[in-house]
Amino acid sequence: MADEPITLAVLAQFHRDMIAPEFARLGEHLDRIDGTLDEFRGHFDAIYQRFDRLETEYQAIVAGLRRLEERMDRIEGRMDGLERRMEGVEQRLDALSTAQGKFALRAELQELKARVEGLQEQIRVIEERLDA
């Protein structure tokens, strides 16, 4: 075959026997690689979708946490206001209790004054009888 001239028929035969089978084998190999790459792409797409869902859920959790923190801040503010009001009420109660004690003493003092006046009247009556 080395002595034969290179003709189109010889080249065609060489192509059919040597090059075409090699290209067919390479094509099959590329098809398998493409199939594998499609599987990887599918897996990556599924992973990205899952990351998107997780990111959305994360953002929702962060927003919910912010709302809870804001609500807790408002509740703490209300509690502080309530504590201040309670302190004011306690101070008023203490003042009323002290004032009530003073009123009770005044009432007892007036009662004692009335009894003293009554005793003085009795003494005056007795003295008048003795003088008469």
pLDDT at 1: 52
**Distant-in-sequence, close-in-space partners of 10: CB < 8 Å, separation ≥ 6:** 4
Q: How far is Cα 62 from Cα 77, in angstroms, rounded to an integer?
A: 22
Our CA angle for 67, 71, 74, nearest 5°, is: 145
14-38 confidence digits (pLDDT tens):
889 999 999 899 989 988 988 899 9
Instruction: Report, as ranges of residue numbers, the positions in the chain whose pLDDT lies below 70.
Output: 1-2, 101, 132
Concatenate the DSSP letters of all residues of 31-80 into one string: HHHHHHHHHHHHHHHHHHHHHHHHHHHHHHHHHHHHHHHHHHHHHHHHHH
Number of C-beta neighbours around residue 14 at 10 A: 13
Mean pLDDT value across the chain? 87
Its pTM stands at: 0.47
